[in-house]
């Protein structure tokens, strides 16, 4: 089982670029890119809160728990 980050989906739904989101949540482009590509190992609640506020969504819209199929 793993957690999938759907940040790119929410950004597309809100028609928001990585640069715009970076400015709104005060994160570097590289850190947002790491989150967006699912390479992040952790996320702070303060970062998740800022993302949800900027994207007008719930944490479950960004993070998804899925079972891996083998």
CATH number, residue 20: 1.10.260.40
**pLDDT score, position 52:** 98
Establish if 65 belongs to a structural domain: no
What residues does 65 pair with on adjacent strands? 3
3-state secondary structure of 65: strand
**pLDDT score, position 10:** 96
Query: Domain containing 51: what range?
Result: 2-57
Establish if 49 belongs to a structural domain: yes
Closest of 12, 6, 10, 5 to residue 53, by C-alpha? 10
Establish if 28 belongs to a structural domain: yes
Structural domains of the chain, count: 1
pTM above 0.85, yes or no: yes
**pLDDT score, position 47:** 96
Establish if 53 belongs to a structural domain: yes
Establish if 67 belongs to a structural domain: no
**pLDDT score, position 23:** 95
Quick: pLDDT tens for 10-69: 999 999 999 999 999 999 999 999 999 989 999 999 999 999 999 999 999 999 999 987
Q: What is the maximal distance between C-alpha atoms in the chain?
A: 39
Establish if 66 belongs to a structural domain: no
**pLDDT score, position 1:** 86
């Amino acid at each position: 089982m793993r957690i999938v980050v759907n940040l790119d989906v929410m950004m597309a739904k809100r028609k928001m670029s990585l640069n715009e989101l970076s400015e709104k949540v005060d994160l570097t482009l590289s850190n947002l890119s790491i989150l967006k590509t699912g390479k992040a190992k952790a996320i702070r609640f303060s970062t998740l809160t800022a993302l949800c506020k900027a994207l007008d969504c719930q944490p479950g819209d960004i993070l998804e728990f899925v079972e891996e199929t083998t």
